[in-house]
């Protein structure tokens, strides 16, 4: 999307200035916004405002209307009714430039940092051949974030950057356009705890020192509390809290306003299972003498920097050669040459990367739900009973779909993630591997996925669960295996240290 995509947004197609004086600190104010798609009313009179120098959490369950509101604010979608008023604090402007930073990076990996930042200025005469001017723009933007940014950084190809560095480049690209409002959609979903802390320091500086208005979309309450000043909560297309100070709301009140079931304070399932591994169904032997023995029905959490969990998950699901980890099922060593081979051996896999490694976007919901069954049974066509099987699974998951013949794009992100879990329900699995399965989903959907995973474990399926949310691992898992910041195995977390501080101490990463 272009950085100037939000201009003519008044009821008559023109941008409406905000009044002067005290209210001029409001950069953006939306009122009575309505939007329908056919008979479905997505927004029903939503109000929302963004102030300069304020970090504003936009909250709501999947399907509450957050994404539609953002598309309207950024000019990607028209609205049916309501007004949006703008006020820029920069001389000569009437409307602020608004930019979106998505959780999935939009960088060109073979281009340099300078070229990735400068590319949005090509239409203003800054051509790719003028690399000196492009470097200057990039350095100036990056130094708004960190005044100590070395000039050599802008010459690196972005494929060499960490996820955190990539997001900094995305933010710098937005700032280079003169953006006064930044919309960040689940920006921490792919970051470690340490990288998240660095990002938050950047965002605080931009808000409090540069006067940028920041909108932060996240489902992680701990992060929202740590970073944000105020919150707006949407539920079923209406605003139930508008720019309310977070200090005035408890977590329980926020969950209630979102229309989600209250958090059930549950300890992790019986720790006794962590001790009963003498009859292990699955054995894993890794580098540096690492060893993992898992009884049927155990939920094993993986904690630490991504290279460690990823290196273990790849051979488990047939996505890697497994040179570092050896797998034994019932005492017999196995090596999966492909994901198909893993599925036929009874190993399921749910990826947190719905778009790239999960959803079959061009096939209807029924084909997505039944994909694992067809791989296992070597079938490609729909049998007569399959639509009924799919409908039962959709109902069990509380998956909000108009028809099982619709494309997955008709579902919210949380319901797409439920769809991936649905593939494995009722199958005779030995093990299911879940890679960040609740990434980017709301609190209620998380609870539904937790319940489904517990049901699979209670049925004797061994579960391997990787999450970058330590509190999630502590609530759900029977055992936690940790990796350090370099991805090296560090061993199990003792029951006495089953706390966020315990995880942080073993992994070397902030809780």
According to the model, what pLDDT value does residue 247 have? 92
CB atoms within 10 A of CB 5: 15
Residue 26 lies in a domain: yes
According to the model, what pLDDT value does residue 103 have? 67
Residue 408 lies in a domain: no
Residues 83 and 195 reside in one and the same domain = yes
According to the model, what pLDDT value does residue 455 have? 84
Residues 338 and 193 reside in one and the same domain = no
Residue 266 lies in a domain: no
Residues 101 and 115 reside in one and the same domain = no
Residues 228 and 328 reside in one and the same domain = no
According to the model, what pLDDT value does residue 238 have? 93
According to the model, what pLDDT value does residue 305 have? 81
Q: What is the pTM of this model?
A: 0.58
Residues 278 and 330 reside in one and the same domain = yes
Residue 218 lies in a domain: yes
Instruction: Please state whether 326 falls in left (phi above 0), alpha (psi between -120 and 50) or beta.
Output: beta
Residues 84 and 122 reside in one and the same domain = no
Residue 234 lies in a domain: yes
Residue 144 lies in a domain: yes
According to the model, what pLDDT value does residue 239 have? 94
CA–CA gap between residue 283 and residue 318 (Å, rounded): 16
Rounded to 10°, the helix 131-145/193-210 angle is: 90
According to the model, what pLDDT value does residue 495 have? 63
Nearest partner of 475 among 458, 450, 449, 442, judged by Cα:
450
CA–CA gap between residue 360 and residue 351 (Å, rounded): 13
Residues 89 and 114 reside in one and the same domain = no
Give 110: exposed, middle or buried? Use CB within 10 Å, 0-12, 13-18, 19+. Answer: exposed
CA–CA gap between residue 145 and residue 209 (Å, rounded): 10
Residues 187 and 97 reside in one and the same domain = yes
**For 300-322, b where at least 16 C-beta lie within 10 A, e where not — what string?**
bbbbbbbebbbbbbbbbbbbbeb
**For 389-399, b where at least 16 C-beta lie within 10 A, e where not — what string?**
bbbebbeebeb
According to the model, what pLDDT value does residue 374 have? 76
CA–CA gap between residue 511 and residue 504 (Å, rounded): 5
Give 323: exposed, middle or buried? Use CB within 10 Å, 0-12, 13-18, 19+. Answer: exposed
Backbone angles phi, psi at 401, to 5 degrees: -135, 135
Residues 92 and 133 reside in one and the same domain = no
Tell me the residue range of the domain where 155 lies. Answer: 109-160
Residue 416 lies in a domain: no
Of 201, 226, 257, the residue that ends a domain is: 257
Residue 404 lies in a domain: no
Q: Let me know the angle formed at the C-alpha of 443 by 440 and 448, rounded to the nearest 5 degrees.
A: 100
Residues 214 and 331 reside in one and the same domain = no
Of 198, 233, 257, the residue that ends a domain is: 257
Residues 192 and 243 reside in one and the same domain = yes
Q: What is the CATH number of the domain that holds 243?
A: 3.40.50.300
Residues 146 and 242 reside in one and the same domain = no
CB atoms within 10 A of CB 211: 16
pLDDT averaged over 10-residue windows placed end to end, the chain, 511 residues = 35 39 68 88 92 93 83 90 86 78 78 87 57 85 83 87 82 84 82 78 88 88 89 92 92 78 42 41 86 89 88 87 77 86 87 65 77 72 70 74 78 77 80 86 78 86 88 86 88 76 74 44
According to the model, what pLDDT value does residue 122 have? 64
Using the 8-state DSSP alphabet, how is residue 186 labeled? S
Nearest partner of 246 among 28, 57, 62, judged by Cα:
57
H or E stretch covering 329? strand 326-329
Q: How many domains does the chain have?
A: 3
Q: Tell me if residue 302 falls in helix, strand or coil.
A: strand
């Amino acid at each position: 999307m272009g950085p100037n995509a939000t201009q003519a947004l008044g009821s008559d197609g023109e941008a409406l200035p905000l009044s002067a004086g005290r209210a001029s600190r409001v950069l953006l104010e939306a009122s009575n916004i309505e939007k329908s798609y056919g008979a479905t009313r997505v927004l029903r009179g939503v109000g929302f405002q963004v102030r300069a120098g304020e970090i504003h959490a936009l909250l709501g369950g999947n399907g509450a209307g957050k994404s539609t509101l953002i598309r309207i604010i950024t000019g990607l979608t028209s609205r049916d009714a309501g007004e949006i008023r703008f006020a820029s604090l920069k001389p000569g402007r009437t409307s602020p430039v608004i930019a979106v930073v998505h959780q999935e990076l939009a960088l060109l990996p073979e281009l340099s940092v300078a070229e990735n930042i400068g590319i949005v200025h090509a239409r203003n005469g800054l051509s790719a051949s003028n690399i000196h001017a492009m470097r200057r723009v990039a350095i100036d933007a990056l130094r708004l974030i960190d005044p100590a940014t070395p000039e050599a950084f802008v010459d690196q190809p972005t494929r060499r950057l960490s996820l955190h560095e990539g997001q900094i480049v995305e933010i710098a690209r937005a700032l280079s356009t003169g953006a006064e409002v930044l919309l960040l959609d689940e920006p921490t979903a792919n970051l470690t705890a340490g990288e998240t802390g660095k990002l938050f320091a950047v965002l605080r500086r931009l808000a409090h020192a540069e006067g940028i208005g920041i909108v932060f979309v996240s489902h992680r309450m701990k992060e929202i509390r740590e970073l944000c000043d105020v919150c707006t909560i949407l539920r079923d297309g209406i605003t139930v809290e508008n720019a309310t100070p977070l200090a005035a709301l408890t977590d329980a009140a926020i969950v209630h306003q979102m229309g989600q079931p209250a958090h059930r304070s549950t300890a992790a399932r019986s720790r006794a299972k962590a001790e009963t591994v003498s009859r292990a169904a699955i054995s894993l032997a890794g580098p540096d003498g690492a060893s993992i023995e898992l009884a049927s029905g155990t939920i094993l959490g993986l904690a630490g920097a991504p290279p460690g969990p990823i290196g273990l998950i790849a051979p488990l699901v047939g996505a890697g050669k497994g040179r570092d980890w050896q797998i034994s099922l019932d005492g017999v060593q196995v090596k999966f040459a492909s994901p198909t081979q893993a599925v036929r051996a009874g190993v399921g896999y749910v990826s947190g990367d719905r778009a790239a490694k999960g959803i079959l976007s061009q096939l209807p919901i029924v084909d997505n739900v039944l994909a694992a069954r067809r791989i296992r049974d070597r079938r490609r066509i729909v049998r007569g009973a399959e639509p009924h099987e799919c409908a039962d699974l959709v109902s069990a998951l509380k998956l909000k779909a108009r028809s099982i013949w619709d494309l997955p794009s008709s579902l919210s992100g949380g319901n797409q993630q439920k769809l991936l879990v649905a593939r494995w329900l009722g199958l005779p699995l030995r093990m299911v591997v879940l890679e960040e399965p609740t990434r980017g989903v709301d609190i209620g959907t998380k609870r539904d996925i937790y319940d489904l995973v517990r049901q699979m474990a209670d049925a004797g399926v061994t579960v391997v669960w990787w999450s970058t949310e330590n509190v999630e691992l502590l609530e759900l898992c029977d055992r936690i295996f940790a990796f350090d910041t370099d991805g090296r195995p560090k061993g199990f977390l003792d029951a006495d240290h089953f706390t966020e501080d315990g995880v942080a101490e073993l992994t070397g990463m902030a809780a």
